[in-house]
Structure 1
Amino acid sequence: MDLALKWWWLTVAVTAIGVGVVVGGVPSETKHNTLVTRIAFGSCANQSAPQPIWNAIIKFDPQVFIWLGDNIYGDIRLPNKLFGKERNIGPWKNTPRFVPATEQEMKSKYEKAKSNPGYSRLRQNTKVIGTWDDHDYGLNDAGKEFDGKVTNQRLLLDFLDEPQDSPRRKQAGVYASYTFGPTGRQIKVILLDTRYHRDPLRSDGSILGSSQWKWLEKELYGSSTAITIIGSSVQVISNLSATTGPFFYMESWGRFPKERDQLFKLLADSKRGGVFFISGDVHFGEITRYDCATGYPLYDVTASGITQAVEKVVPMPLHFLVRFLAWLTPATLRVMDGNCRRKSCTYGMPNFGAVEIDWDATPVTLKIQVRDTDGNPVAGVTAPLSELQARNFSYSTSNKVGKRQRHCLLEVDQPWIVRYRLAILASGALAILVLTMLGMIWLATLCCRGCPLKKKRD
């Protein structure tokens, strides 16, 4: 999604007043027995933009790198038109801002991304896996209705060096799972496809589709692993659209509440421990937490993006305003602590995600972070793996116990005055701007009317 421009619109409004692989349910599995201690992940990489962040990722020396979508920007963004019959920006737009690229154009963009010197060096010593989001799927915010998904699936798998005989090339969608490490210290990485089968936005339909749900259930009820990482191109826990509307909306599982409830229930019923999410899409980094899904803290680490970042779309003097708006945005599930560089605990410049596991510690320690282009952490959580173990817990949407706690209170359940304070602030700013302009016009009119009378008296 093109979140950066949406943040720009809100900034303007406030500024007005100066403020191992298993795929497609196939039971075969390729296991990587080498112990894995470092995993990096990222998203939102425009192939035509400079990508200096690869130096920091290489310095982190991950054994696995995970693409979480928008691995290229394949679709074509049309010139912005604020007025006229073909308006494509603002709440009043009536035509799309993005159109699909041809197969050859998509292929050329993938080749450019793959030949990036920094990324090429990473691939020499790092296992690269991944899924897609909308811009490499082929069209901004697209779902199952997109006609080019079959062709673009093949192009993505070529980019990821998927073997030609892989079952992943024969299924509908790019979801997959991998298992790394020796017995007792295994990490399962489950990569979801949130595009191929997704129903339209605002439908509260399905994100994964029936076949992918059956596959995911088998994965979660399958052999236990010490850690399970679930990769989703869009955020799972955070639902900022509930607090940023009606000015702009972001894609997330929270916009499909029945589907998210089904995911939480499946996790709780499977009694699988050591689970956390990683995600991308939104053009900023943050860590969110939900304590009422599995009986233990369930984290979602968002790293977005490699090149695309919300602060890059506004002039540097206005960066403080973007950070203020991020801090002001009601976010009950965001992790807010002293590990964050920004007061808002979001990071709006290029970033990547980093996972470190200390298998020799007692207990085993898990460190998950968002890092900047120099490799320094900007947000992070350190937790003993023993705290992320399944307990006697049953997920239910009707269960009100603990729902008023910070990491259990969903954005949609906040008091309306809190939930819509951004909209109230922006609307107030626009109202003051309009009234000020009307006042200036009125004064100018009075002055113009007074000039002929003055000349006549003279």
Structure 2
Amino acid sequence: MMTMVITFIKTLVLLLLFTLTSASASAPAPEVVSRIAFGSCANQSSPQPIWDAILDYKPHVFIWLGDNIYGDIRRPFKLFGNDRTIGPWKNVPRFVPSSYDQMKSKYDIAKTNHGYARLRHIAKVIGTWDDHDYGLNDAGKEFKHKDINQKLMLDFLDEPPNSPRRKQAGVYASYTFGPEGRRIKVILLDTRYHRDPLRSDGTILGTAQWTWLKRELNSQPSEITVIGSSIQVISNLSACTGPLFYMESWGRFPSERKRLFKLISDSKRDGVFFISGDVHFGEITRFDCATGYPLYDITASGLTQAVEKVIPSFLHFVVRFLAWITPTTMRVINNNCKRKSCTYGQPNFGVIEVNWDENPVSLKFEVRGVSGEAVNSVTTSLSDLQAKKGGFNNVKEGKQHCSLEADLPWLLRHRLAILFSLFVAVLIVVQVGVLYVAISLMVKCLRKCKLD
């Protein structure tokens, strides 16, 4: 009897092992991901021809980096009248939130766009948000409708009903693609839900998200780690464009940015770089003094919204000239740029291309235009994105992108504001001179008429 029981148990164990082995053998291996596209700033009411170029690229993954719709309502510039949106006597905000139904309608328009609908069939689509799809321009943790809008954003991304993102405060998330040895980890940050007011140097991510990010960076290693931030991480152009105008970036929260760089450095994680949106132009920047290798930030903005689209084409040269003379310490300037400033102010998207078969593995970062042409490009390798004991192989190269914009000499840093002030002063002098000549001629004419 005992022999029969032992034989029965052995048979059950063998059957169980066979079942588990068969299931493991039949489970498909993760597909290799070598092409990632990303973009931001897509007004659902504008034409979106750029999807054709993205589809032609055939990405395995597409990443939304925020302003996936323009959900808030923008009032027109109004200097006089009852509702003044600009000027020292401004009495109403220029941007106001939409209702739930209005937000949902805008998401429906975006989701049913023909080009985007086709992309959803060929690529895995993931994403985070920025201010306009969060619900209000430049808004942070104080925004009252963030929980309702979080649900709408996750519905837009087809997030499963039981997803942790639907239960947490904020839309941050991480994904891992590819088999062992060719893994790509994508970490998407939420720079809105917990963000303190601008100019406060408070927090961007909040306590819970910082704890989560530390855990993610110290978790299972991957050959490549992409950190998606809706706002720029490396560049801090506001340090050079103020007081004329300011843009949101991690640089405006210097303590948070230092904490982010330190977290990456302490994790000893290689192959980390950033992708970002928000600013309505494309560029590639790098910072060489945060970890033992360069930290890149590829900014693609936007799919429909771009700085050169808001002014007549005959004035585009002015925007390009201003971009060229604005001081920058982080932007990668090379011969692969379409513009001399190595910024691109027309609609654009970004791509990450990995050649796993090369030794060492190569990476290409590009900003591409509406026709799919590369307008900014940087090629590097995984070996260049690994910390080296002695630091950079090339000391000169290692110091090339180490100075922060905020540390530039005052005259250089405020060059744009100084030139603008001089231009305005010359304009005023010319106008006063013309007025003086006109009055002098009138007085002369009146005296002559009186004498006659």
The residue aligned with 1:383 is: 380
CA distance in 2, matches of 1:314, 1:92: 26
- With normalisation by structure 1, the TM-score equals 0.89
The residue aligned with 2:263 is: 266
Aligned counterpart for 1:411 among listed residues 405, 429, 432: 405
Specify whether residues 154 and 393 from structure 1 end up closer, same or farther in structure 2 by C-alpha distance, changes over 3 A only.
farther
The residue aligned with 1:252 is: 249
Q: Does residue 369 in structure 1 map to residue 366 in structure 2?
A: yes
User: Quick check: 1:271–1:391 contact (8 Å CA) kept in 2?
Assistant: no
The residue aligned with 2:430 is: 436
CA distance in 1, matches of 2:404, 2:324: 17
Q: Does residue 130 in structure 1 map to residue 124 in structure 2?
A: no
* TM-aligned CA deviation for residue 357 of structure 1: 0.5
Q: Secondary structure at the match of 2:275?
A: strand
CA distance in 2, matches of 1:447, 1:285: 52
AA aligned to 1:413 is D
Specify whether residues 48 and 264 from structure 1 end up closer, same or farther in structure 2 by C-alpha distance, changes over 3 A only.
same
The residue aligned with 2:318 is: 321
Deviations 1:222-267 (A, max 9, x none): 1100000000000000000000000100000000000000000001
Q: Does residue 340 in structure 1 map to residue 337 in structure 2?
A: yes
Q: Secondary structure at the match of 1:110?
A: helix
**Greater Rg over alpha carbons, structure:** 2
Specify whether residues 251 and 314 from structure 1 end up closer, same or farther in structure 2 by C-alpha distance, changes over 3 A only.
same
Q: Does residue 236 in structure 1 map to residue 233 in structure 2?
A: yes
* TM-aligned CA deviation for residue 391 of structure 1: 3.8
* TM-aligned CA deviation for residue 168 of structure 1: 0.5
User: Quick check: 1:198–1:209 contact (8 Å CA) kept in 2?
Assistant: yes
CA distance in 2, matches of 1:403, 1:362: 22
Q: Secondary structure at the match of 1:242?
A: helix
Q: Which moved more, 1:445-454 or 1:91-100?
A: 91-100
CA distance in 2, matches of 1:204, 1:335: 27
Specify whether residues 416 and 174 from structure 1 end up closer, same or farther in structure 2 by C-alpha distance, changes over 3 A only.
same
Specify whether residues 99 and 253 from structure 1 end up closer, same or farther in structure 2 by C-alpha distance, changes over 3 A only.
same
Superposition pairs for residues 437-456 of structure 1, below 5 Å?
437-456=431-450
Deviations 1:49-92 (A, max 9, x none): 00000000000000100000000000000011134564424677
Q: Secondary structure at the match of 2:150?
A: helix
Consecutive unaligned residues in structure 1, runs of 5 or more: 1-30, 395-400
Superposition pairs for residues 296-311 of structure 1, below 5 Å?
296-311=293-308
User: Quick check: 1:178–1:188 contact (8 Å CA) kept in 2?
Assistant: yes
Over the matched positions of the two proteins, sequence identity in percent amounts to 68
How many residues are paired up? 422
* TM-aligned CA deviation for residue 402 of structure 1: 8.6
The residue aligned with 1:423 is: 417
Higher relative contact order (CA 8 A, sep 6+): 1
Specify whether residues 390 and 92 from structure 1 end up closer, same or farther in structure 2 by C-alpha distance, changes over 3 A only.
farther
CA distance in 2, matches of 1:222, 1:90: 50
User: What is the RMSD computed on CA atoms of the aligned residues?
Assistant: 1.8
Q: Secondary structure at the match of 1:79?
A: coil
Superposition pairs for residues 167-206 of structure 1, below 5 Å?
167-206=164-203
The residue aligned with 1:9 is: none
User: Quick check: 2:288–2:398 contact (8 Å CA) kept in 1?
Assistant: no
Deviations 1:159-195 (A, max 9, x none): 0000111111010000000000001111000000000
AA aligned to 2:232 is Q
Superposition pairs for residues 156-167 of structure 1, below 5 Å?
156-167=153-164
Q: Secondary structure at the match of 1:305?
A: coil
